């Protein structure tokens, strides 16, 4: 009798039964469901070494960029860039790099590592993309409103309103993540 890949043959060989989640039929007889062994990146793997090196380089460049932003924050050119949003992008890169480093740690080391992997990766990406979206909205606002009277100051483009827009975006993404993971756990 032939069953699907995730099914075992019943004792009387009249039917098939699907294995429970996180189990798989044994290869020899396909009569018992065996637990699936976890597979994770090992520190000796070449992919792990490449990821760790890339994360270390990104952390170094992020710290250098943040230092330049903070040291020259009074510069006219940098003050126009909304340094707070740029620092949030750099913080997101740092969180994502720490998450990459934690991917190499074996999963049985500690329960908080698995939690931080999941949460850290999502928060890191949200800290990168939310400020970028705010910056793109601001650029498009200036692009599409360039023909209006320039004597009238633009509304809702101050640094405070940009941070408020960022906060709302981050809150929406975090709430979506909480709801999405709550239904899929």
Average pLDDT for 83-108? 87
6-58, pLDDT tens digit by residue?
Answer: 888 887 778 899 999 889 998 888 888 999 887 778 888 899 999 999 999 99
User: Residue 181: which of 118, 96, 112, 130 has the closest Cα?
Assistant: 118
Q: What is the Cα–Cα distance from 25 to 39, expressed in whole angstroms?
A: 17
144 or 47, higher pLDDT? 47
Task: Let me know: does 105 contact 113? Beta carbons within 8 Å.
Answer: yes
Q: Residue 122's pLDDT band (boundaries 50, 70, 90)?
A: confident
Q: What is the Cα–Cα distance from 102 to 47, expressed in whole angstroms?
A: 14
Q: What is the Cα–Cα distance from 148 to 162, expressed in whole angstroms?
A: 21
Q: Does residue 63 register a pLDDT over 60?
A: yes
Distances (CA, A) of 185 to 42, 80, 103, 172, 181: 25, 44, 20, 20, 6
Q: Does residue 185 register a pLDDT over 50?
A: no
pTM of the model: 0.71
Q: Does residue 168 register a pLDDT over 50?
A: yes
Percent of the chain, pLDDT > 90?
A: 22
């Amino acid at each position: 009798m032939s069953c699907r890949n995730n099914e075992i043959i019943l004792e009387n060989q009249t039917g098939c039964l699907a294995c429970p989640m996180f189990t798989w039929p044994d290869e020899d007889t396909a009569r018992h469901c065996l637990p699936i062994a976890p597979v994770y990146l090992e520190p000796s793997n070449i992919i792990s070494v490449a990821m760790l090196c890339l994360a270390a380089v990104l952390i170094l460049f992020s710290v250098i960029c943040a230092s330049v932003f903070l040291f020259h924050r009074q510069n006219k050119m940098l003050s126009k860039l909304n340094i707070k949003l740029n620092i949030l992008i750099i913080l997101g890169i740092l969180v994502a790099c720490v998450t990459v480093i934690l991917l190499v740690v074996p999963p049985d080391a500690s329960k908080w590592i698995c939690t931080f992997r999941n949460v850290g990766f999502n928060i890191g990406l949200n800290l990168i993309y939310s400020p970028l979206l705010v910056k793109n909205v601001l650029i498009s606002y200036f692009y599409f409103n360039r023909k209006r009277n320039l004597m009238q100051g633009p509304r809702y483009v101050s640094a405070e309103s940009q941070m408020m827009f960022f906060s709302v975006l981050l809150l929406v993404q975090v709430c979506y993540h909480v709801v999405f993971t709550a239904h899929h756990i």
